Structure formats: C-alpha cells, structure tokens
C-alpha cells in the first residue's frame, strides 16, 4: 500500500510539533487526521474513525495519555500500526506491537517508523 493510500491519526498537544509532523507526513503522501489530545483521539475512535496508523505523543493533558491510547488501539484495532513518540524513554512501556521514536524525532526516522521500515537507529 502506498503512503498516499494510508491515513495517519496524529495525536500531539504541542501545536508547532503537530503542524511540523503533519506537514512531514502529508508531504510524504499520507492523509493526516489531527487530534490535540488522547481524549479527543479516543472520542474520534468511538465514532468509528478509519485510519491505518496511529502516531501519538505520550504526555498530554486530559484523562488519557498516549500510552493508554496506544494500548487501547493495540487491543481494539489490531490492524493499525502504532508509533509512540516521547522526549523520555518509554520504550519499555509501549505495547509490544508499537514502535518507539524518541523526540526530537528527525523526519526521516519518523517516516521510517510510519512506513514500517525498521529498525530505527537511535
């Protein structure tokens, strides 16, 4: 499947990071749906939102964080690829089916993770 045929649900509360990552993904041919919190993303999921890849930050305001969201998606949508980003090493906390990308994430590393071209060098 080509990038242009895949939809990414991008969950990030920092507006500049959200805009930068959304631009990077869009320029690579992905369709991007943005959510500024894990709570908002969870609400979108409950409406039956269709997407192929979840890219989520960990620390966000609200009742859910990105780890809880990733765990929920891993169980409820096993066909969705999951990429978790954070400025701290939470790689040991993410679902086993997810990929961890440390922040600040270089665009090429993020695109490798989203495209499924692993492993990613630190």
Spans of all domains in the chain: 3-112
Which of 104 and 82 is assigned the larger pLDDT?
82
Residues in the chain: 122
Using pLDDT thresholds of 50, 70 and 90, give the confidence band for residue 118.
Answer: low
* pLDDT tens figures, 40-83: 999 999 999 999 999 999 999 999 999 999 999 999 999 999 99
Using pLDDT thresholds of 50, 70 and 90, give the confidence band for residue 106.
Answer: confident
Q: Which helix (H) or strand (E) holds 7?
A: strand 7-11
Count CB atoms within 10 A of the CB of residue 49.
14
How many angstroms separate the CA atoms of 12 and 76, rounded? 21
* pTM attached to this predicted model: 0.91
How is 52-118 classified by DSSP, letter by letter? SEEEEES--SSS--HHHHHHHHHHH-TTSEEEEEESS--TTTS-TTEEEEESSPPHHHHHHHHHT--
CB within 8 Å of 16: residues ≥ 6 apart: none
CA dihedral of residues 98, 77, 64, 101 (deg, nearest 10): 20
Q: Which of 38, 108, 104 is nearest to 73 (CA)?
A: 38
Mean pLDDT (the chain) is 90
User: What integer pLDDT is reported at residue 2 of this predicted model?
Assistant: 54
How many angstroms separate the CA atoms of 88 and 102, rounded? 7
Class of the domain covering 3-112: alpha beta
Using pLDDT thresholds of 50, 70 and 90, give the confidence band for residue 5.
Answer: confident
Predicted confidence (pLDDT) at residue 33 exceeds the cutoff of 60: yes
Predicted confidence (pLDDT) at residue 3 exceeds the cutoff of 70: no
């Amino acid at each position: 499947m080509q990038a242009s045929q895949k939809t990414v649900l991008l969950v990030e509360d920092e507006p500049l990071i959200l805009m930068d990552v959304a631009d990077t993904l869009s320029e690579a041919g992905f369709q991007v749906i943005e959510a500024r919190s894990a709570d908002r993303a969870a609400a979108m999921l409950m409406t039956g939102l269709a997407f192929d890849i979840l890219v989520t930050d960990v620390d966000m305001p609200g009742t859910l964080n990105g780890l809880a969201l990733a765990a929920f998606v891993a169980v409820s949508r096993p066909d969705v690829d999951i990429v978790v980003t954070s400025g701290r090493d939470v790689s040991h906390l993410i679902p086993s089916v997810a990929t961890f990308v440390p922040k600040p994430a270089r665009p090429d590393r993020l695109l490798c993770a989203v495209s499924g071209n692993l492993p990613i060098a630190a």
